[in-house]
Amino acid sequence: MAPRAAGKRVVLGVAGGIAAYKAVEVCRRLVEAGVHVVPVLTDDALRFVGEATFSALASERCHHSLWDDAEAIPHVRLGQVAELIVVAPATASFIGSYAGGIADGLLLATVLATRAPVLVCPAMHAEMWEHPAIQENLSILVRRGVQVIPPDEGRLAGGDVGAGRMAEPAEIVGAVLGLLEADGQVVVKRHRDLVGRRVLVSAGGTREPIDPVRFIGNRSSGKQGHAIAEAASERGAQVVLVTATREPGPPGTTVVRVDTAAEMETELLARATEADVVVMAAAVADFRPKAPSGRKLSRSEGLPEIVLEPTPDILTELGRRRREGQVLVGFAAETHEVAQRAAAKLAAKGADVIVANDVSTPGAGFDHDTNAVTILAADGSSKETALVSKREVADAVLDTVVERLPDHDPPAGGDRNPRRDP
């Protein structure tokens, strides 16, 4: 039981997708938690689940028509008395109509007539979920204050596997109860504040060849860059990860493999023009052999003379070329004078943000699962993280990025969702 949620009125909207069967369990769990659940089903939802099922499990009978309800204007009444509306599943059709303000049926009319917080739980096939139109429609809804629980990866209708599977009932119910207990003033744990954004991330340490066997490299594992790509993808971004590692990329990302600084420069500069955010997390070698041997060098031939030359300064070039509104993030891995060196790099490279970490700190930096960083911004602000997981660092970095994106809106809640007493 969630005491503060007990007795609160939730409209449970069910759109017409195969995941509608999961909404039955959402309904049951919410009622068991003491929530007053009002089910509103679309005509297409009734092709997958029965009206009688929801009428039996919910707190009142199922509603599905603007015209056959006892109320003269049912959508207005439902919208006014709701303390939260959750739509599970939210199909591609529902999301598009909602974003477009189309009141096609009772459920859409209700979400457009309410001032209560709205939570949507998308469910559709992977190709549909990844389509730019769907992501743009979700971006519109998020900017208007709608909260989203993104779908999981897993088995889909027809036997395919991929992203688009509706979140499990336990997660949805947990989010609903959390919102009710906080009077709608919290954001669902899994942010979707990068929906519709394009994020380019680099990761790993480059390898500069001495000969076909040997190379100059560094200790970077690429874990921090991969964590940023994963976090950005889960927050709704279309992510391209340019990585010098051979580790698999996070689900939902486009992975580009490179080895050398020159290869990384080519890929990043070609792709940066279309990116809203560029995160330069890779540890690019500062020097490379000027004339690598075309054959393996042998000890018997004596000590070779290796002449080094500087590699391209990719971050500086990205800063020079970046378009208006793009957010550029660099990293500074240091062992001494960390704050001073990071601040100097921020000023010199034309970046918006520099993430500095002392790689001599135990448990931080290269080849660890944890990190401790200071995030410096060009506007003079800064924040620090303790020694936490690299995924937590990734979210801290992306929080800073989101604050600097054009058209950034604050999280839903408060004045953005004024409440009307029933």
Question: What CA–CA distance (Å, rounded) separates 35 from 28?
Answer: 10
pLDDT given for residue 37 in this prediction:
94
Measured in whole angstroms, how far is the alpha carbon of residue 222 from the centre of its chain?
Answer: 19
Amino acid at 271: R
Q: Find all residues with CB under 8 Å of 316, minimum gap 6, and list them.
A: 348, 349, 350
Work out the average pLDDT over 302-326: 93
Question: What CA–CA distance (Å, rounded) separates 173 from 162?
Answer: 23
pLDDT given for residue 398 in this prediction:
95
**Are residues 147 and 187 in contact, defined by beta-carbon separation less than 8 angstroms?**
yes
Edge-to-edge order in the sheet of strand 147-148: 36-41, 9-14, 84-90, 118-122, 147-148
pLDDT given for residue 75 in this prediction:
77
Catalytic (active site) residue 357: no
* pLDDT (tens digit per residue) in 335-359: 898 889 999 999 999 999 999 988 8
Higher-confidence position of 81 and 157: 81
Work out the average pLDDT over 362-372: 86
Nearest to 114 by CA among 4, 11, 6, 43: 11
Instruction: Grade residue 299 by pLDDT with cuts at 50, 70 and 90.
Output: confident
Nearest to 120 by CA among 83, 81, 142, 90: 90
Six token digits for residue 123 = 């469910």
Residues in the chain: 422
Instruction: Grade residue 416 by pLDDT with cuts at 50, 70 and 90.
Output: very low
Work out the average pLDDT over 87-103: 95
Q: Where are the domains of the chain?
A: 3-192, 198-404
With 80 as the cut, is the pLDDT of residue 61 above it?
A: yes
Amino acid at 28: R
Torsion angle, alpha carbons of 171, 168, 190, 128, to 10: -160
Q: Which of 137, 218, 371, 417 is the catalytic position?
A: 218
The answer to whether the bond into 89 is cis (omega within 30° of 0) is yes
Instruction: Grade residue 252 by pLDDT with cuts at 50, 70 and 90.
Output: confident
Question: What CA–CA distance (Å, rounded) separates 138 from 192?
Answer: 9
Q: Does domain 198-404 have CATH number 3.40.50.10300?
A: yes
* pLDDT (tens digit per residue) in 154-186: 777 767 777 788 988 888 888 888 888 765 544
DSSP 422: -
Q: Give me the chain's average pLDDT, please.
A: 87
Return the percentage of the chain with pLDDT > 70, whole number: 92
Class of domain 3-192: alpha beta
3-192 shares its CATH topology with 198-404: yes
Number of H helices, E strands in the chain: 13, 21
- Residue 49 backbone dihedrals phi, psi, to 5 degrees: -135, 160
